[in-house]
Amino acid sequence: MRLTDSRHDATSFHGCAPRRRQSMIDIVVADITTLEVDAVVNAANGALRGGGGVDGAIHRAAGPQIMTELKLFPGCPTGEAVRTRGYKMKAKYVIHAVGPIWRGGGQSEPALLARAYESAFARAKESGDVKTIAFPAISTGVYRFPKYDAARIALTAMLDHESEYARVIACLFDDEDAVLYREMLTSLRRSR
Ligand code: ADP
C-alpha cells in the first residue's frame, strides 16, 4: 500500500507543544480488498447481486457468504447503502453504496453521488464500531461519472466526516487518480 497524501502525525511535536493532528484522510493507491480497516465501501449496483470492477473484487475476497447476506435485501436505490459483514476480508464490514450511472449530468447525478457517500457514512456510524473506513472512487468506472467532479464530491463528504473517524481512506486504483485526489484535497482544505 502506497501512501500518497502526506499526513501529520498526532504524536509529532513542534517545540514542546504537541501539534494538532491535521489530516485524517489518507489517499492511497491499492486494491481496496487488501486494506486493514474496519469497513470497506463497495461501489455496488442497485440489484446488490455482484458485478465487475471493485464490486467483483470485493465479492471474490469476501467469499460466497457475502452474497447470502446480500440476498436478504431486495435491492438498494441509487444514493443509498446497505451494510454486511466482511467475511473473509480483513475488514469487519462491507458497506455497499449505490452510486449513479452518469447520463450527462441532468439527472441529479452529482446529488445522488453525494448522497451515496453520506449513506455509506451513515451505515458506518450505525454499526457503532467503525473507526477506520476506506472508499473507492464510486461511479467513476463503468458508471462513467467524470473523475474531477466525482473527486470533489467524494472528498467533500470525507472532509465533512473526518473528525468522526481515526482514519478515512480514499483508495484509488491508479496513480493518476491519486494525483487528482491529492490536488483536490489541498484545494478543498484551503477553501474551508
Ligand atoms: P462503478 O460501477 O461505480 O463505476 P467500478 O467498480 O466500475 O464502479 O469503478 C469504480 C472505481 O473503482 C474505478 O475508479 C475503478 O478503477 C476502481 N476499482 C476497481 N477495482 C478496484 C479495487 N480492487 N480496489 C480499488 N478500486 C478499484
Pocket probe mutation, ligand 1, options 54, 139, 149, 181, max atoms within 8 Å of Cβ: 54
Say if strands 132-135 and 167-172 run parallel, antiparallel, or are unpaired. parallel
In the prediction, which pLDDT does 143 show? 98
| Chain segment 24-59, per-residue pLDDT in tens | 999 999 999 999 999 999 999 999 999 999 999 999
Closest CA to 76 of 110, 112, 52, 107: 112
Distance 101 CA to ligand 1 centre (A): 13
d(CA 115, CA 112): 5
pTM: 0.91
Q: Is the pLDDT of residue 4 over 70?
A: no
Give percent above pLDDT 70 in the chain: 88
Assess whether the C-beta atom of 27 lies below 6 angstroms from ligand 1: no
Assess whether the C-beta atom of 43 lies below 6 angstroms from ligand 1: yes
Give percent above pLDDT 90 in the chain: 88
Distance 20 CA to ligand 1 centre (A): 34
In the prediction, which pLDDT does 3 show? 44
Average pLDDT, the chain: 91
For cell 478543498, what's the residue? 188
User: Could you tell me which residues come within 8 angstroms of residue 146 by beta carbon, excluding any fewer than 6 positions away?
Assistant: 102
Strand partners, 13: 18
CA distances from 116 to 48, 62, 179, 180, 191 (A): 14, 22, 23, 20, 23
Measured from the CA of 32, which atom of ligand 1 is nearest?
24
Alpha helices in the chain (DSSP H): 53-62, 65-70, 109-127, 147-161, 175-190
d(CA 131, CA 70): 23
What domains appear along the chain, each with residue ranges and CATH number? 22-190 (3.40.220.10)
| Chain segment 152-186, per-residue pLDDT in tens | 999 999 999 999 999 999 999 999 999 999 999 99
With 0-12 / 13-18 / 19 or more C-beta atoms within 10 angstroms meaning exposed / middle / buried, residue 53 is: middle
d(CA 41, CA 54): 10
**Cell triple for 137:** 472512487
